A and B are shown apart, each in its own frame.
Chain A
Amino acid sequence: MTVRLVDRVGRPLLGCVVFAAAVGIWEAVARSEGSFLLPTASAVAERAWHVWPTPEFLSNVEASLRRLAAGYAIGAWIGVAVGVAMGSSRWMRQALEPLVELLRATPAIALVPALIVILGAGDRMRITVIAFGVVFPVLVNSMDGVRAISPELHETASLLRMGRAERILRIDLPAALPSIFAGLRIAVSIGLVMVVISELVGGGDGLGHYLLVEQSEYDIPEMYAGILFLGLLGLALNGVFVLVERRALSWHRGTTGHGER
């Protein structure tokens, strides 16, 4: 009992102690170096405390989140649709795989200059870049999820004389859901990276743009505050996603476990 208590309290405590020590080392090094490139941890925290609540900063956050939501939604829909189609049809897979592999290997930033020419430097370009980054992890995971479905399920489906559309909707999609969710989750952090990438070019607003402005003004503590915020945002988005996933997959487990019909 006492061992368990020590374990339960001690473990997170040790992690926090190490974290605090790392911050302490940062503070000490920054103080002794006195370099303007490395502000002290306390200076960054103090600046973050003042900058984060300002309307200007919050409007940048809002712009970034809006783009992330739009790009993520588009990319996720396309990824699931094409991925499931490629997973359930051999013909589709053979037709599309080379194209997908080539596009997937192309770094999204490589598309930015072309997209600027085609779509302009505004939100349409940014949302397209984000969607492009989101599509592939979702697509590949959806495809692999459908391909991993046991043949018995498909044999049962054909015994029940299910059509292709019905099979995809009632068997492929639900059975591949855990894998699809894994892809969607990876796509959240990739999406955040894409948001910053798309905002580093072409001016405007958003957190990526904010970082560039602070860099060009040599306001280093504010830049660190922006990076810190992006890290916390990533952490929070991932947390939200884990909650959603637990909900969605518990429903999934419920229906496959008990069988409604």
Chain B
Amino acid sequence: MTELGTGTLASEIGATVGSYAQGLTIAVIVGVVAGVLIGSFRVLLVASAVLIEFLRPIPVVSLIPLAVLFFGFGAPMRRWIVAYAALWPILLNALYGARGVDLVLHDVARTSGVGAVGRLVRVTLPASLPSIATGVRIGASIGLLVAVTAEFVSGTDGVGAYMQRQGNAFKLPELYAAVVLVGIFGYTVNRALRAAERRLVFWAGEERLAER
């Protein structure tokens, strides 16, 4: 833990978190927009089905060697690989959420004179929010896994590269400290997203409250 104090580990964690946050942001924006659109328009769904079914099962980590060739070993490679990894759960959950929207809601909005774009933003998006939130949570944990993996396998900085170095040098306490730190970070992200979810989609929280 002295490593954290002296700043070596702290700066490595900072490097990881920076590109992780950027990648996740890209994934959320692209995933939500594409997912809600595809889920709302049948033509888009039908048109993209084969492509999605083909791209989705490719294990993201198998793209790491390729991303290294394209972007090198640093932060940009990590950012894009995290974005790609987190994109799929977010996109698919937004898609299912948008498809499951109550049609009556749409009819009410239409008779109230809300246009197509307005309905998309004011009906479909909020109604698919609980599903999107789930997707973001799944995407966030997959993204972290992929970020650390990318650093570990072929990174120059970040906590994964740090673990790789300590492991090679058989510095086990430092290594375990990093492992625990990553675990705590992942746990914190998950907790924070859950808290945000509860606040943002408060109306879907009733059953969850009833459970307790």
Contacts and interface: CB of A to CB of B under 8 A. Distances in A.
A152 B182 CA distance: 42
Interface in B158-209: 160, 163-164, 166-167, 170, 172, 175-176, 178-179, 182-187, 189-190
Interface stretch (B26-34, B42-50, B112-120): B42-50
Interface in B53-72: 53-66, 68-70
Contact of A231 (B54, B61, B160): B54
Interface string A86-104: 0000000000000001111
B150 to A, nearest CB: 9
Given A114-B167, A201-B153, A223 B58 contact: no
* Main secondary structure on B side of the interface with A: helix
B57 A238 contact: yes
B51 interface: yes
Interface string A175-200: 00000000000000100110111001
Contacts of B148: 107, 109-110
B187 A101 contact: yes
Contact of A11 (B46, B60, B69, B152): B46
A102 B187 contact: yes
Interface string A207-223: 11001101100101001
A105 B46 contact: no
B152 A201 contact: yes
A201 B53 CA distance: 29
A234 B167 CA distance: 31
A63 to B, nearest CB: 15
B145 interface: yes
Contacts of A207: 62
B47 A18 contact: yes
Contact of B62 (A37, A102, A104, A211): A211
A93 to B, nearest CB: 12
Interface residues of B, number: 50
A117 B179 contact: no
Contacts of A113: 152, 163-164, 166-167, 175, 179
B125 interface: no
A113 B177 CA distance: 12
B77 interface: no
Interface string B129-145: 00000000000010011
Nearest to B152: A109
B182 A114 contact: no
A227 interface: yes
Contacts of B68: 215
17 contacts: A14-B43, A16-B50, A17-B47, A19-B54, A37-B69, A101-B187, A106-B186, A107-B144, A109-B145, A113-B163, A192-B57, A207-B62, A211-B65, A215-B66, A227-B58, A230-B59, A233-B57
Interface of A: 11-12, 14-19, 22, 37, 101-114, 116-117, 189, 192-193, 195-197, 200-201, 207-208, 211-212, 214-215, 218, 220, 223-224, 226-228, 230-235, 238
A19 B167 contact: no
A76 to B, nearest CB: 19
Nearest to A195: B59
A235 B56 CA distance: 9
Nearest to A193: B59
B149 interface: yes
A231 B55 contact: yes
Kindly list the 4 A-B residue pairs having the minimum CB-CB distance in the complex, ordered from nearest: A234-B57, A113-B167, A105-B186, A106-B183
A227 B66 contact: yes
Contact of B48 (A18, A117, A238): A18
Given A18-B50, A113-B166, A102 B70 contact: no
A193 B65 contact: no
A16 B50 CA distance: 6
A112 B186 CA distance: 17
